Amino acid sequence: MQTASSSTETPSRLFDLSGRVALVTGGSRGLGRADCLALARAGADVVVTDILIESDPELEQAAASSGSALSQAMASQKAVYAERTSSEIRALGRRSVAIKMDVTNRQQVQSVVDQVVKEFGSLDMLVNNAGTLDHMGTLENQDDALWERDLKVNLTGAYVCSKAVWPHMKERQWGRIVMMSSIAGALGGFGQASYATTKAGLVGLARTLALEGARYNITCNAIVPGIIGTEAFKMGRADMNERMIKRVALRRPGQPEEIAAAVTFLCSQEAGYITGIALPVTGGLDLFTF
């Protein structure tokens, strides 16, 4: 009689996304790039989308038109890796392409989604990662134009992308949508009214889509990152970064790969009974620390 301990069967790999197709927004750097690579390592084919594509002859113009100081800095420093990320994914044996896409452009988003379904055969997972993080000012100093921009990119952009992929997921009776929220959306952020508001809104959107998608086997969840060592964090003032880290129970910034691991789990079959949650990946920033 063979016991479980003596079995020679090879256990199946956890979080196996083989045969699935993912689309990640804002995939040229930071959390988005890490998400793309993690999903690919788990077996998925990955479409990398961003408003910034390094071979774009109008790269700096695209960054300027976005109104994002961070995007402009990344473009000027050549810190844009959409096509590089796609190339690294193909080196893993997965299918991948980098596509320029503005999440605020409904027609462009729909065109990209249709292209992906046609060329890849399906679109099973959406990671709404694209966002802005450069609008700072107390309420009386909030820039009205930047408030509107942040709403369009961070919140409406996720709505537009989710709405575009929804019919394909319903038809296949399977889907995973992940919203990239923020600890600022959970705790508020001094001088970050637009950012905190949009990131809180993503949680409400995720929970609503979780309810509406449940009967079609579509799950929708939000990740709530804390202080993560992305390019944006590294560009911040050293004294402010240190002050924030001291609030983290683990006393260090998280790494983009640690967020990507949570994204991969929520996209997996193993997370099929998890929907409508806002998952903190914060190192204990949301705990009472002193």
DSSP structural state of residue 11: P
Token look-up 């990740």 returns 223
- Distance CA(124)–CA(117), nearest Å, equals 9
Task: Report yes or no: 222 and 154 within 8 Å, Cβ to Cβ.
Answer: no
- Distance CA(290)–CA(282), nearest Å, equals 16
- Distance CA(14)–CA(28), nearest Å, equals 27
Task: Report yes or no: 192 and 135 within 8 Å, Cβ to Cβ.
Answer: yes
Token look-up 């065109």 returns 111
Degrees to nearest 5, angle at CA 52 with 46 and 55? 90
Task: Report yes or no: 125 and 165 within 8 Å, Cβ to Cβ.
Answer: no
- Distance CA(163)–CA(180), nearest Å, equals 16
- The CA distances from residue 63 to 74, 104, 131, 203, in Å, are 8, 14, 13, 27
Burial degree of 176 (CB within 10 A; 0-12, 13-18, 19+): buried
- Active site residues per annotation: 195
Token look-up 């071979």 returns 55
